[in-house]
Amino acid sequence: MKRRNFIKTGAVTGGGILLGQLPTKNIFSKTFANISYPIVVSTWEPNLNSNAKAMEVLLEGKNSLDAIEQGIRVTESNPDDTSVGYGGFPDADGIVTLDASIMDWKGNAGSVAFLQNIMHPISVARLVMEKTKHVMLAGQGAKKFALENGFKEENLLTKKAEAAWIEWKKKNKKPNNHDTIGMMAIDKNNNISGGVSTSGMAFKLHGRVGDSPIIGAALYVDNAVGGAVSTGNGEYVMRTLGSFLIVEKMREGMSPQKACELAVERVYRSNKNLDDVNVCYVALSKSGEVGAYSLKKDFTYCVTTPQSNKSYKSDFLMK
């Protein structure tokens, strides 16, 4: 398919699919062929637009790392996404703090935690990976590094997010807000990369860092096997290192679907109170097989090939 045609399709399906219109029949362990073409997979249906951007980058012949960065930047700059970047809901003190991570097919990784006033934490994470000998920078240090590398300081708290925070302070009632973007892509050279970006749980304690910047928790890729990303209540992912677990199970021969189920079951059997908790995983094998599973209902994920850009409902454990 020509790039222009793909982008046209992407633009139509990208913004237009409502949850109610999703296919009712789940697809599990769907194999999208023995991969000789690019593929992009991400968490949550609203990220179809980000997948379309990532696919556009891949079809230009760029690598999976470029696709991940450019794709995730779309979500980070969208003020209507209240869980990522600009427009993200703030913490309990009314401050937007961001976590992000990125990993390439060579096993390089970079991340930022508790970053403030920088619109694109995924790009800062990439720079940490490429320009420093470290994996993670946090807080003021991460911000200083970003500013020194040409990033602008910006106010990320939108009126809408501020109003939601004021309302929360009055009623102390939390919205169900966890729509972190986790994305994986395989490029034409069969190389996988992945990334995650979030503003974290809405109205979290000031200083809280979630799973998203922790390599092995919310993100892990290995070019010999495939990758996994998570979304949901990060504390439950951090305690079980779900993405690393999934990739290691796939390495042993488990399908992406079964590996996601195993990681969710691990959380289920952890004897923790699971009220108001969800944990969701998407996995992608190097052969183009996609798996997804969550603890509770309503998790959706996106799969994009040069021919199609669609979201699917995930199966879940606690029926």
Which of 51, 64, 83, 111 binds ligand ASP (CB under 6 A)? It is: 83
Closest CB to ligand ASP among 204 and 249? Answer: 204
13 binds ligand ASP, rule: CB under 6 A: no
Secondary structure letter of residue 45 according to DSSP: G
Q: How many residues bind ligand ASP (CB under 6 A)?
A: 14
How near is the Cβ of 45 to ligand ASP at its closest, in Å? 14
The tally of CA atoms less than 13 A away on the side-chain side of residue 213 is 30
Buried b (16+ CB within 10 A) or exposed e, 72-96: bbbbbebeebbbbbbbbbbbeebeb
How near is the Cβ of 253 to ligand ASP at its closest, in Å? 28
| Three-state DSSP class for residue 169 | helix
Q: Where are the alpha helices (DSSP H) in 77-136?
A: 121-131
The tally of CA atoms less than 13 A away on the side-chain side of residue 243 is 32
Contact stretch for ligand ASP (CB under 6 A) within 103-111, 126-134, 183-191, 230-238: 230-238
Closest CB to ligand ASP among 151 and 281? Answer: 281
Closest CB to ligand ASP among 210 and 291? Answer: 210
Secondary structure letter of residue 288 according to DSSP: S
Question: Roughly what angle, to the nearest 10 degrees, separates helices 48-59 and 3-16?
Answer: 170
Instruction: State how far the Cα of 234 lies from the Cα of 254, in Å rounded to an integer.
Output: 24
178 binds ligand ASP, rule: CB under 6 A: yes
Binding residues for ligand ASP restricted to 181-220, rule: CB under 6 A? 198, 200-201, 210-212
249 binds ligand ASP, rule: CB under 6 A: no
Which of 71, 121, 194, 232 binds ligand ASP (CB under 6 A)? It is: 232
Instruction: State how far the Cα of 107 lies from the Cα of 230, in Å rounded to an integer.
Output: 18
Contact stretch for ligand ASP (CB under 6 A) within 9-17, 47-55, 145-153, 231-239: 231-239
Both tokens of 49, joined, read 């637009």
How near is the Cβ of 188 to ligand ASP at its closest, in Å? 30
Q: Which residues lie near ligand ASP (CB under 6 A)?
A: 83, 178-180, 198, 200-201, 210-212, 231-234
